[in-house]
Structures are given as structure tokens and as C-alpha cells.
């Protein structure tokens, strides 16, 4: 049995990268830049260690509501800002993160009460006031294309809102921060990751198995909600592979970790536009390449977490084939363990029994027949297929 030792801060930061890859976010690394800016402001304001940690996580997750259940519909809602903030707050409340939910909910509030929830002044949590300022700074920063000339333009944007939209004391801290050349250099794309690592909470909080499942469950919901055709795909796969794994003595000790790997196996699909996922006709070669890349991004995200390396392989290898013709690494059979092979078989089965834009869902029997034909052609594992077939 594999024993995990995973820092919560590392896991949340890695999964936040998947949010920044999604099509509904405005631009790449927005969440990480907001986190950097907000955490710097929070430290300058003298917030407690606990409050600064909450601000760090809130920065990473503040736009999670764009992708949660109803997030796409929220984009079209006249009350869009309120809707995505409320959805995000609800999602974050299911995570083992203290004090973060309200910061996400109120990160668009304005000092004068003109925000979506009409909170005024000190009625807005200080962390949410900082987050609102940091979010606006990054929006202005990207608008002005991160050139050196942007500094004055970004500062002008904030000055126009000082005292009305933004806390005057926070604006004072911002003015001092903006004078530091190192601040702007840290925000550059090539320096951001290291700069953010320096600010990562020092908390040694390690996620336990229940917390890991809770975090993976929230992100699986976000993943599956991208398309109405995959509403239960990750959860369905997770439940199926756990049941199958428990029937085999070799797999049973890691059944719960396989469950988590299945919940996160499609996290890279956040980078795939819905127009491609829901296209009713045949994909072009270019579109198919975008879809295939999702397993690359799944591994990219999960490999960032120390202690999650094996789980990252199980999750990211679900389109590898034992004949070496899978993707994205074209791994040979010798590099694919029984866990990898079972994940691939169960993923194919789960996809076949679900409706897709170009076909209806298959019966269990028909799905198994299709998988057995893939075994005969050399793509899927016969042993893993037998384990699945015995239970469906």
C-alpha cells in the first residue's frame, strides 16, 4: 500500500494551475498573480499568519466559481459577478481551508457598497478587500500588457478607485509596493512560480485521506461540469475502479488511491474548450490534438505535488495503450502497471456507457464487447478487462 505525505498548500496550488488553464479564465496565471499580489499586500498590512494563509488560498481559488456547477450559465447571467462569487464560495467551503470561503464570496465587493453583495466599508472582510484590490491590479496589468511602461498606467487605475472602491490604507500599501522593481520582476511569467513559492504558507498541514478525497471531489465536479455529456464521468469512473480494485488482492491496498486518481484523471480537460468537447461532428486533426493534450496537462498539474507522483501516473496514463500506440507518452506495456491498465479499461468503459454528442450511451454488455475487441487488437489489457467484466 502506498503511503501519502502531501502538503495541502502544494496540492491546492497545483490544482489552481488547472483553473488558470481553463477557457473561462481571462488569461493564463491570473490566479497565481492575484495570489502573489494579495499575499504581498496582506503581509505588508500585518495580517496574522492564519489570515495571510487564507488570503493565499483565496487568491488561488477566487475564480473557481467560473467553472463550478452552473459556472458557465453564470457567465451569461446579468448578475454574473455575484453568481460566480457565490458558486466559488460554495465550492471552497467543501475544502479543508479555514476562512477562505468568505474571501472568495466577497472578492468583488467595493468600499462604497457598489459591489454585488452591497457590503460597505469595514463590513467587507479585510482579506476580501485586499483580494478585490489585487484582482483589479492584475486585470489592469494584463490590459497594459506587462511592459515597463505599464507601471504608471496600472497605478492610475488604482488611484481612480482609491477611497471609493478600495480601502485607502490598502492603497497606501500598494503605492509602496509598486515602487519596488522586484515586485514587477516577480510578476513576470518566468519568475512568477519561484516568487510564489517563497510566499507559500509554511504550514506543515498534511492532507489526510478524507481531505484528499474532498479536494479531489470538488475538482472532479468542476471537471465534469465542463460539458453536459461528462456530468458524472470522473465520479462514475472513480466508483467503478474502486469496486473493481477491491476484488483483486494486488490492487485492493491501493483502491482508495485509485479512486482519487480517477477523480482527477481528467483535470487536464479544463484546458480543452467546450466547443470541442461538445462538437457533434468529427473533430479536425487540430481539434483532436487539443483533446489529446489533456492527459499531458493532467500529469503537468499533478506532478507538481511532492508525494503524488505515482497517483499522477495512474491518472495521466489512462489513454496509454499496451501496444505503445497511446498518448501522450506512448508508453510501452513494460511501463504500464496493472493500476494503469485498469484505469485505461475502466475509463473506456465509463465513456462508452455515457451519452456523447455524436452517439447514445451503450449498454454494459455492448461496452464490454467493444473493450474486448480492443484487447484483441492489442490496445487494452486482457487481465484488467476480465476484472471489469466480472462485475458488470
Domain boundary residue, one of 143, 165, 199: 199
Domain boundary residue, one of 141, 167, 199: 199
Give me the percent of the chain exceeding a pLDDT of 90. Answer: 74
The CATH number of whichever domain residue 76 belongs to comes to 1.10.3210.10
pLDDT at residue 289 above 70? Answer: yes
Residue 281 confidence (pLDDT): 86
pLDDT at residue 249 above 60? Answer: yes
CA distance linking residue 6 with residue 9, whole number of Å: 9
Q: Which of 276, 206, 248, 220 is nearest to 338 (CA)?
A: 248
Neighbour-count burial for 56-66, b at 16+ CB within 10 Å, e otherwise: bbbbbbbbbbb
Predicted confidence band of residue 143 (pLDDT cuts 50, 70, 90): low
Same domain, 232 and 92: no
Same domain, 41 and 145: yes
Mean pLDDT lowest among 55-59, 82-86, 106-110, 142-146 = 142-146
Residue 130 phi, psi (nearest 5): -65, -40
Same domain, 215 and 177: no
All three cell numbers of 364, joined, read: 454494459
Same domain, 173 and 40: yes
Same domain, 141 and 37: yes
pLDDT at residue 211 above 90? Answer: yes
Spatial neighbors of 153 by CB under 8 A, at least 6 apart, are: 140, 144
DSSP character at residue 208: -
Mean pLDDT lowest among 95-104, 210-219, 220-229, 239-248 = 220-229
Residue 321 confidence (pLDDT): 97
Predicted confidence band of residue 67 (pLDDT cuts 50, 70, 90): confident
CA distance linking residue 274 with residue 378, whole number of Å: 31
The position carrying cell 466577497 is: 106
Span 27-34, average pLDDT: 86
DSSP character at residue 392: -
Predicted confidence band of residue 42 (pLDDT cuts 50, 70, 90): very high
Same domain, 125 and 258: no
The pTM of this model reads: 0.90
Same domain, 191 and 213: no
Same domain, 313 and 217: yes
Predicted confidence band of residue 82 (pLDDT cuts 50, 70, 90): confident
CA distance linking residue 246 with residue 55, whole number of Å: 40
Q: Is the peptide bond before 328 cis (omega within 30 degrees of 0)?
A: yes
Distances (CA, A) of 38 to 18, 42, 92, 129, 221: 20, 6, 18, 10, 27
Residue 206 phi, psi (nearest 5): -100, 135
Q: Residues 56, 84: contact at Cβ < 8 Å?
A: no
Number of structural domains in the chain = 2
pLDDT at residue 78 above 70? Answer: no
Domain boundary residue, one of 179, 199, 219: 199
Distances (CA, A) of 359 to 29, 169, 279, 288, 356: 36, 58, 11, 17, 5
Mean pLDDT lowest among 56-70, 247-261, 324-338, 361-375 = 56-70
The answer to whether position 204 is within a domain reads no
The answer to whether position 1 is within a domain reads no
Residue 231 confidence (pLDDT): 79
Span 368-392, average pLDDT: 97
Residue 205 confidence (pLDDT): 86
pLDDT at residue 291 above 60? Answer: yes
Using left for φ > 0, alpha for ψ between -120 and 50, and beta otherwise, residue 166 falls in beta
CA distance linking residue 262 with residue 221, whole number of Å: 12
pLDDT at residue 225 above 60? Answer: yes
The answer to whether position 2 is within a domain reads no
Helix (H, G, I), strand (E, B) or coil at 238: helix
CA distance linking residue 344 with residue 331, whole number of Å: 13
Same domain, 46 and 163: yes
Same domain, 131 and 224: no
pLDDT at residue 41 above 70? Answer: yes
Q: Which of 299, 289, 236 is nearest to 267 (CA)?
A: 299
Residue 98 confidence (pLDDT): 93
The answer to whether position 223 is within a domain reads yes
pLDDT at residue 149 above 70? Answer: no
The position carrying cell 456530468 is: 231
Mean pLDDT lowest among 135-149, 223-237, 350-364 = 135-149
Question: What mean pLDDT, rounded, does the chain reach?
Answer: 91
The answer to whether position 3 is within a domain reads no
Neighbour-count burial for 218-231, b at 16+ CB within 10 Å, e otherwise: bbbbbbbbbbebbb
pLDDT at residue 11 above 60? Answer: yes
Domain interval for residue 381 = 209-389
Predicted confidence band of residue 142 (pLDDT cuts 50, 70, 90): confident
The answer to whether position 106 is within a domain reads yes
Q: Residues 119, 105: contact at Cβ < 8 Å?
A: no
Same domain, 273 and 153: no
pLDDT at residue 282 above 60? Answer: yes
Q: Maximum Cα–Cα distance for the chain, whole Å?
A: 70
The answer to whether position 343 is within a domain reads yes
DSSP character at residue 5: -
The answer to whether position 312 is within a domain reads yes
Same domain, 135 and 246: no
CA distance linking residue 87 with residue 62, whole number of Å: 10
Amino acid at each position: 500500500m502506498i503511503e501519502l505525505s502531501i502538503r495541502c498548500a502544494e496540492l491546492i496550488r497545483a490544482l489552481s494551475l488547472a483553473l488558470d488553464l481553463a477557457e473561462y479564465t481571462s488569461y493564463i496565471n491570473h490566479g497565481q498573480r492575484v495570489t502573489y499580489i494579495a499575499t504581498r499586500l496582506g503581509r505588508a498590512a500585518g495580517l496574522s499568519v492564519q489570515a495571510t494563509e487564507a488570503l493565499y488560498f483565496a487568491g488561488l481559488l477566487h475564480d473557481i466559481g467560473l467553472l463550478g456547477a452552473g459556472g458557465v450559465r453564470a457567465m451569461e447571467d446579468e448578475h454574473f459577478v455575484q453568481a460566480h462569487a457565490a458558486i466559488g464560495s460554495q465550492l471552497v467551503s467543501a475544502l479543508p481551508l479555514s476562512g477562505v470561503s468568505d474571501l472568495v464570496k466577497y472578492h468583488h465587493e467595493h468600499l462604497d457598497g457598489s459591489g454585488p453583495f452591497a457590503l460597505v466599508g469595514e463590513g467587507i472582510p479585510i482579506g476580501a478587500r485586499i483580494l478585490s484590490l489585487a484582482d483589479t491590479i492584475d486585470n489592469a496589468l494584463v490590459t497594459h500588457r506587462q511592459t515597463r511602461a505599464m507601471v504608471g498606467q496600472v497605478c492610475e487605475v488604482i488611484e481612480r478607485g482609491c477611497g471609493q472602491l478600495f480601502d485607502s490604507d490598502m492603497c497606501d500599501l500598494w503605492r509602496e509596493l509598486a515602487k519596488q522593481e522586484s515586485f514587477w520582476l516577480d510578476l513576470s511569467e518566468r519568475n512568477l512560480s519561484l516568487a510564489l513559492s517563497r510566499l507559500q504558507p509554511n504550514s506543515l498541514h498534511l492532507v489526510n485521506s478524507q481531505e484528499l478525497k474532498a479536494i479531489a471531489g470538488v475538482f472532479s465536479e468542476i471537471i465534469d461540469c465542463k460539458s453536459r455529456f461528462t456530468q458524472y464521468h470522473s465520479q462514475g469512473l472513480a466508483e467503478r475502479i474502486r469496486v473493481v480494485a477491491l476484488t483483486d488482492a494486488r490492487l485492493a491496498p491501493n483502491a482508495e488511491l485509485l479512486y482519487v486518481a480517477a477523480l482527477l484523471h481528467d483535470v487536464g480537460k479544463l484546458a480543452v474548450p467546450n466547443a470541442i468537447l461538445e462538437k457533434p461532428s468529427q473533430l479536425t486533426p487540430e481539434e483532436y490534438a487539443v483533446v489529446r493534450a489533456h492527459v499531458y496537462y493532467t500529469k503537468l498539474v499533478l506532478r507538481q505535488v511532492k508525494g503524488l507522483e505515482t497517483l499522477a501516473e495512474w491518472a495521466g496514463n489512462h489513454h496509454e495503450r499496451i501496444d505503445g500506440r497511446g498518448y501522450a507518452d506512448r508508453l510501452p506495456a513494460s511501463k504500464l502497471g496493472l493500476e494503469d491498465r485498469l484505469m485505461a479499461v475502466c475509463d473506456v468503459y465509463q465513456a462508452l456507457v455515457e451519452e456523447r454528442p455524436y452517439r447514445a450511451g451503450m449498454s454494459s454488455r455492448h461496452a464490454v464487447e467493444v473493450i474486448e475487441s480492443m484487447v484483441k487488437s492489442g490496445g487494452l489489457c486482457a487481465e484488467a478487462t476480465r476484472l471489469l467484466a466480472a462485475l458488470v
